[in-house]
Amino acid sequence: MSDLVISAVEAIPLKIFGDTHFAISEGRANAHFAVLLILKTDDENIYGFSEIACAPPGKPEEIPGEVVSAIENYIGPALVGTKATHLNQAMQLVHKSIKGKNWTKAATNVALHDLWAKSQKQPLLTMLGGEVKSRIPVIGDVIGIMSPDAMAEVAAHQVRDGIKTLKIKVGETVAADVDRVRAVRQAVGDDVSIRVDANDHYVVAEAVSLINKIEDCMIEHVEQPVGRFDLLGMKNLRKKVNIPITTDDMVASVEDAMNVIRLDATDRIKVKVTKHGLTDARAIAKMARAAGLEVILGHVFQTGLGAVAEAHLAASCAEIRCVNEIGSLGPIGVKDDLIAESLRKEAGYMEIPKGPGLGVTLDWLTVDKYRYDFRDI
């Protein structure tokens, strides 16, 4: 089985509707667009797969049509004929095949890891260096921008379900966002950790005002309070506030992480399998910890297929010590997942599937339900 060869690469565009709208500072949505990537082999029973998350609210990083085209015309042809065990060689071919398309390449990295681990009949976390955590601490579903009372109600419900770390979105006016943070803190008491995410919304002066006004709310960190390209602004902001700052959009690559660390522009760095892939996410995590920074595992809207890749990374990477943000489509009310297995989350912890590769199987009935032709939109 170790001599498996990639025989074909398939890209299936998906449109997944929920029954609830989710809002951040840059937009609102009740649908998730994705592309299912499948690496087929000369053994029809063994294939690697991953999810490419497309067009999160307000941030169309890579739209479905571009992703499918990149896979069908460039990445797929480059990979056909490559051995499943030749992971580094395969990624070199991927990078040479097309410029940009970093999210597509990140998902290809995950699918190649899945196939590699399956070829060795091992769980992915074993191939990533072994299990350092048998179960991983996780936050609840991210709470989108709503009225202060509505956000407080959702937060209180999550805490009753055993969640010990919350993440809430802000990004309107300073005054309105202060009210949101205070309402959530009052609803959940002092024993629950709260993370605040502004999604690049503020200029430095506004961000400083917000952060200082919520300092008494015992906030764990504030994520990406200023624009993703305002590296000097982030550095200057840190000098004026006491709450730790976390970068997200500012770190799109290993090189970006090096720049953030060199400028001392953050307290924490967020890695995302969705945009970094497994290889670069691990590299950024190791670099950040060596520099004395904490590492947060982040996410975007995604199905269980994307979430389980994050879980394997969290379970095998000692540098990721904080509570993990494992993504789901819960915030938009999606019930049917792409994977047949249920990812167990209980009392703020998640179990890791232990089958070969990612340890999950595709629910093809659900995949067929969500298939769509992006050429129709």
**pLDDT tens per residue, range 267-314:** 999 999 999 999 999 999 999 999 999 999 998 888 999 999 999 999
pLDDT band of residue 347 (cuts 50, 70, 90) is confident
**Domain, as residue range, for 78:** 6-121+363-376
How far apart are alpha carbons 347 and 341 in whole angstroms?
19
Which range scores top for mean pLDDT: 1-10, 69-78, 335-344? Answer: 69-78
| pLDDT score, position 29 | 80
Condensed to tens digits (0 to 9), the pLDDT of residues 223-232 reads: 999 999 999 9
Condensed to tens digits (0 to 9), the pLDDT of residues 164-212 reads: 999 999 999 999 999 999 999 999 999 999 999 999 999 999 999 999 9
Q: For residue 358, is it within any domain?
A: no
**Is pLDDT of 57 > 60?**
no
**Residues 223 and 367 grouped into a single domain:** no
Whether 114 and 124 have beta carbons less than 8 Å apart is answered as yes
What token pair was written down for 350?
């998640």
**Residues 100 and 141 grouped into a single domain:** no
**Is pLDDT of 345 > 80?**
no
**Residues 67 and 131 grouped into a single domain:** no
Q: Label residue 324 exposed, middle or buried (CB < 10 Å: 0-12, 13-18, 19+).
A: buried
Q: For residue 207, is it within any domain?
A: yes
- Decide: helix, strand or coil at residue 151: helix
**Residues 85 and 157 grouped into a single domain:** no
Pairing of strands 193-197, 219-223: parallel
**Residues 152 and 263 grouped into a single domain:** yes
**Is pLDDT of 51 > 90?**
yes
pLDDT band of residue 64 (cuts 50, 70, 90) is confident
| pLDDT score, position 77 | 98
**Residues 117 and 234 grouped into a single domain:** no
Whether 94 and 102 have beta carbons less than 8 Å apart is answered as no
| pLDDT score, position 299 | 85
Q: How many domains does the chain have?
A: 2
Q: For residue 1, is it within any domain?
A: no
CA dihedral 59, 61, 66, 72 (to 10 degrees): -140
**Residues 105 and 228 grouped into a single domain:** no
| pLDDT score, position 54 | 86
How far apart are alpha carbons 196 and 244 in whole angstroms?
11
pLDDT band of residue 113 (cuts 50, 70, 90) is very high
| pLDDT score, position 31 | 84
**Residues 134 and 116 grouped into a single domain:** no
- Decide: helix, strand or coil at residue 245: strand
- Decide: helix, strand or coil at residue 32: strand
Condensed to tens digits (0 to 9), the pLDDT of residues 136-151 reads: 999 989 999 999 999 9
- Decide: helix, strand or coil at residue 133: coil
Q: For residue 159, is it within any domain?
A: yes
**Residues 367 and 278 grouped into a single domain:** no
Q: For residue 301, is it within any domain?
A: yes
**Residues 131 and 117 grouped into a single domain:** no
| pLDDT score, position 1 | 53
**Is pLDDT of 377 > 60?**
no
Q: For residue 356, is it within any domain?
A: no
**Residues 320 and 272 grouped into a single domain:** yes
Residue predicted with more confidence, 75 or 299: 75
CATH number of the domain within which 100 lies: 3.30.390.10
Which uninterrupted H or E stretch holds 27? Answer: strand 27-41
**Is pLDDT of 37 > 90?**
yes
| pLDDT score, position 336 | 87
Give 362's DSSP letter: B
pLDDT band of residue 330 (cuts 50, 70, 90) is confident
pLDDT band of residue 76 (cuts 50, 70, 90) is very high
Q: For residue 261, is it within any domain?
A: yes
**Is pLDDT of 376 > 90?**
no
**Residues 18 and 106 grouped into a single domain:** yes
CATH number of the domain within which 261 lies: 3.20.20.120
Average pLDDT, the chain: 92
Condensed to tens digits (0 to 9), the pLDDT of residues 248-277 reads: 999 999 999 999 999 999 999 999 999 999
